[in-house]
Structure 1
Amino acid sequence: MIMANNLLRQFELYSSEYEEKAIAVLRSGWYVLGKEVENFEHEWAEYIGTKYAVGLASGLDALWISFRLLDIKAGDEVIVCSNAYIACVMGITINGATPVFVEPDEYDNIDADKIEAAITEKTKAILAVHLYGQACDMTKLMDIAKRHNLRVVEDCAQSHGNKWQGQVVGSFGDIGCFSFYPTKGCGAFGDAGCITTNSEELAKKFKVFRNYGSEKHYHNMVVGTNSRLDELQAGLLRVKLKHLPEFNAERCRLANKYLAEIKNPHVQLPKVRPGADSTWHQFVIHTDKRDELQDYLKSQGIGTLIHYPIPPHLSEAYQYLGKKRGDYPIAEKYADEVLSLPMYNGMTEEEQHTVIEAINKFEG
């Protein structure tokens, strides 16, 4: 069986380094908010190209805390792409704000040319989701935000190290949000996340808010939360980060092989936006025979995933928004036709050849 994602392979590539770091952290006797977290924050900020990074417990925490600290609240609107993962929308609505959906473009990310039409007097921010490892058009997006005095939050959960016009995503907006869930490019071995920012004031606020609103033990400045990146995950992420450029390069090689060798009239291959590169968090094809192709590949021992089968506006969780099928036809169409092919570090040439050959033989 060829899995859609095989996390064990990446671990096995550098298992001795991970194990050595884990033992060192366990033997240190310090497990929360210590030197590993502090060092990782410095190293991640340097990698992204921002002045600050603050470790958190998850990517969702990074999102909702970001909007909380930007004072986005009930009555405010935040623009977000209509095909985003539902966690992106939750980051907005947890704070009582209203998501305003904008349709995606041919690169599976928010269509920057449609953002301005969605802006109202209630709009306070834009959430730029760099989906599948593909960068949004941050030049247009930041220009719109500047002209309308809007805050910008980047969701970089699936884009660890990819660039727009040579600049790493997560360094454009007020705040960059990262998930280090194990499947991500720089994945932890459990839940973990962080934010990046060039604002010293925001970085300080995050450090206070993540720790029960306390800067000094038992002196609580605000009503915060418990969202701390732990020492063990931070240490393991430091090992991963050393190898992230190599991991990204490998995924690019895999993607290029798919792009060059998959030839089936039923399959539309992904496009990379001019001016961007991709870290290929997912290799997402579009096909009007999605369910048939997925079943066929399963019968050939090949696993695939769907990212994502239900657009947020049609989910049960967001029925209260009053949206209906047909309101965002592009996102709905994508939800019916996207399919993520096997893509993981350590994938063998034989495994990829098997996937390509099977797809090319599919007749629908």
Structure 2
Amino acid sequence: MCRDYFRPALLIFSSMVIGVLGWSGYVLLLPVALGFPVLWSISQTRTVAALVSAGYFLAASRGLPQGVAAFYSSDIWPGLLLWLCASLSFVAVHTVLWTKNSGVRPFRYLLAAIFMSIPPFGVTGWAHPVTAAGALFPGWGWWGLGFMTAGLAGLVTRMWPDVAIALAGFWLWSAAIWTDPKLPEGWHGVDLEMGASLGREAGLQRQRDLIATVRNAANDGARFVVLPESALGFWTLTVARLWTSASGDSDATVIAGATVLNATGYDNVLVAIDREGGSILYRERMPVPGSMWQPWRSWFGESGGGRADFFANPVVSIGASRAAPLICYEQLIVWPILQSMMHDPDFVVAVGNGWWTEGTSIVAIQRAATAAWAKLFAKPLVLSFNT
């Protein structure tokens, strides 16, 4: 009887360990997540597969309860509820598509991987093992993604030990030659430590402090300076005029996060400002579900919440270059970066406002995932975060 419970318990515990290590915030540990499809495939029953899926996902997203509690200044219970609700789509997809039939299992797993990459299930498609492609096949681009997909399919077959050994070889080779994504020439990403006040305290002195920060970067030779998500607060004509007038004779362009109000809620955006003026550069495709994106409000005739543009503006033009922008939550899911890469941008710009993640690895995971995608497609990367 004990032996009947030992194997499932070992699988569940192993899936949790894989979730913790793979999503620890270190880009070269992302391939650890490839252990999940193996455990999923060798589960003896659908129930065990469900528990393995839950163990992996909950361990990978373990920082969410604490982060939500900090964001709302509440106790841990709302965060725990959101944590469990967010896991439902991942667990449901992998439970329904699990099968004992080894002949169709690779197809089933690839179907689950696709479902968790695109809306609607992909809205909470965190901790996707395919993110490890950049840590295994840096610079291989779409070919690397193809090999990663084939590897995932191979890991759920009876030949998984051979496939795992082959992938481990690529992992060791990648680790031996690894270098972080380079910064585009003339670009500077500013990291701030302003906590919860960034974007909320939008007085004149705060704007002047940010302007001084940009000037310092411009004096060091930067032609494009990136500020984190929500750095400017609400984007208004007054703010636009202040920043435009502050540009003076500088040739530097500022790319900064801001919020734009509209009739039904707001847009989380990036704006571009130079001495000629300011304009909205990018509207976030996927705001954070629950805290920002609240589609249920419209069902009851209410307004409010951040708007999701899903597949809009995958690349934007900045000067003579084209960039793939990613704001905060978009760095944790799959389809925004892949959609952008279909347009072959020149580099990636990733910003975030992670003050609420203190004590968790969420920002480190965002950085690691974005770096992995940038390395896969050999794209320079600009990062700017507030903590």
TM-score (norm: length of structure 2):
0.26
Instruction: Tell me: higher relative CO, structure 1 or 2? Use CA pairs within 8 A at least 6 residues apart.
Output: 1
Radius of gyration: which is bigger? 2
Structure 1 or 2: more helix by fraction: 2
